[in-house]
Amino acid sequence: MANLKEVKERINSVVSTQQITKAMKMVSAAKLRRAQDKIIQMRPYSQKLTAILNDVAAASEANADLIYAEKREVKNILIIPVTSDKGLCGAFNTNIVKATMATINTQFAGENVTVMPIGKKAFEAYKKRNFPMISQYSTIFQDLSFTNATTAAERAMEGFVKGEFDQVILVFNEFKNVATQIVRAEQFLPMESIIDENAPVKTAEVEYLLEPSREYIIEELVPTALKIQFYKALLESNASEHGARMTAMDKATENAGELLKELRLMYNRSRQAAITNEILEIVAGAEALGGN
């Protein structure tokens, strides 16, 4: 039978842990609400900007010659895994690392792969794997903003334009709801959503009057659209992180409650056994004295 003192210490420890997980759940719920509002507001803007660019490109007599849409033989790849800075969020970070490694092993085996981790957990994971790394953007979630996201996006875009990378892949968690995050591995560059040579020519649904020229407008808007797409992926990951942590802490709180029930039952049984043993010792002593 377990020692009463040991069981009591375990009960106190679990109670303290349960209080911490409850507090972390409440903090994550508050952060999730703000992060969810940001991504909900960003999605319509991103979708509308992409739709406008598609319409303008469709209205062109010829597709604009965009460097960001240039398709090359893929030899050098930049992969951008987006994780969190902290743990205690279930399989959130592990899923990104696994998806990134699966992408490298299945699609880019034998190619030159460079990793640009976003989030400390991604940095720690790929530092151990000895990949060439662009690490200066790993702490971007300490101050997540469009300006900081733009800096990281411009580094990837500049590398593609200069021929340093032939393809850029984003791996992130897409926010669906509090309990569900979907791992996405999307091609960031060369861009496919705006210019697609194999797509059938369509007529724009809206007539635009463009000054100074259609080509100039596209060349100016496309980099902006790419930066917004990058920032949107970070917002998706940020909201997913808080949802995953809220779910994990809720489950941890429930598990702590179940463990407390078992420990208290064990404590009561141990206490009952100790009292019974004391009574038996008293009775045995009394009988021994009576016999004498």
Query: Tell me, what CATH number does 116's domain have?
Result: 3.40.1380.10
Residue 171 has pLDDT above 50, yes or no: yes
pLDDT band at 130 (very low <50, low <70, confident <90, very high): confident
Quick check: is 8 in a domain?
no
pLDDT confidence of residue 60: 53
Q: Which of 142-151, 152-161, 263-272, 280-289 has the lowest mean pLDDT?
A: 280-289
Residue 204 has pLDDT above 90, yes or no: no
pLDDT confidence of residue 284: 83
Average pLDDT over residues 10-37: 93
Quick check: is 190 in a domain?
yes
Q: Which residues contact 224 (CB under 8 A, 6 or more apart)?
A: 49
Quick check: is 14 in a domain?
no
Distance from C-alpha of 247 to C-alpha of 263, rounded to nearest angstrom: 24
Q: Which residues pair with 79 in a beta bridge?
A: 115, 169
Quick check: is 180 in a domain?
yes
Quick check: is 139 in a domain?
yes
pLDDT confidence of residue 26: 94
Residue 291 has pLDDT above 80, yes or no: no
- Residue 223: asked if its preceding bond is cis (omega within 30°), the reply is no
- Return the SS3 of 10: helix
Range of the domain at 162: 26-194+204-247
Q: Which residues pair with 115 in a beta bridge?
A: 79, 133
- Supply the angle between the helices 4-59 and 214-291 in degrees, to the nearest 10: 170
Residue 1 has pLDDT above 80, yes or no: no
pLDDT confidence of residue 281: 83
Residue 189 phi/psi, 5-degree rounding, is -140, 145
Quick check: is 277 in a domain?
no
Residue 15 has pLDDT above 80, yes or no: yes
Quick check: is 231 in a domain?
yes
Structural domains of the chain, count: 1
Residue 202 has pLDDT above 80, yes or no: no
pLDDT band at 196 (very low <50, low <70, confident <90, very high): very low
Quick check: is 216 in a domain?
yes
